[in-house]
Amino acid sequence: MKKLTLFVVMALLCLNFRSLAQQPDTIPALKVGDKLPANFWSTKVSLLDNTGKRWEAELSIFKGKALLIDFWACWCGACINHFVQLNQIQQHHPDLAIIPVNTKTTRDTDQRIIELTSGKKYRNITLAMPTVVSDTRITQFFPHHGLPHYVWISKDGRVKAISMSLFINEPNINLLLNAEQ
């Protein structure tokens, strides 16, 4: 009986430690009004530009700037149609960081992304700024079901809006840039 009791206790302990060890790195979803946590800024991402150059960086390189995060995919026509507008906004507002994010769930390859963002696929459509590729972390902060999906963040790191492409316009960009800190 002692051996059986000892065996049951050991089995329960093993199951308990196993379940604790397998808990995923959970990130709470952020909503409008939330301040970006420190682990957002320390998130490491892979960036890919339209020439094929790929490098790693922390999101802290954008800290102190207003951000417009654009979740997109190669198969999303509405996303691609907004590249021209995003390029123009970035050119007119260098104090705004536009961060295109292509998540791992899109299954887009580097080659497909380069063909699309470089203008090889559609001659008049390019993406001037580098895009985050194979993302699994930023999307945990801002879960979404549809594309394109935009997150607006003020210079002080507060989520100001979460929207669709309809709201990407000059008056709203100016509101974000002039937001009270």
pLDDT in tens, 40-71: 999 999 999 999 999 999 999 999 999 999 99
Summarised one tens digit per residue, pLDDT across range 87-115 is 999 999 999 999 999 999 999 999 999 99
User: CB neighbours of 84 closer than 8 A, spacing ≥ 6?
Assistant: 124, 125
Burial class of 110 by CB neighbour count within 10 A (0 to 12, 13 to 18, 19+): middle
pLDDT tens track for 3-17: 545 444 454 444 444
Alpha carbon distance 169, 165 (integer Å): 9
Q: What does the pLDDT read at residue 137?
A: 97
Residue whose token pair is 């260098």: 94
Amino acid at 100: P
Domains detected in the chain: 30-177 (3.40.30.10)
Question: Is 100 in contact with 72 (CB distance < 8 Å)?
Answer: yes
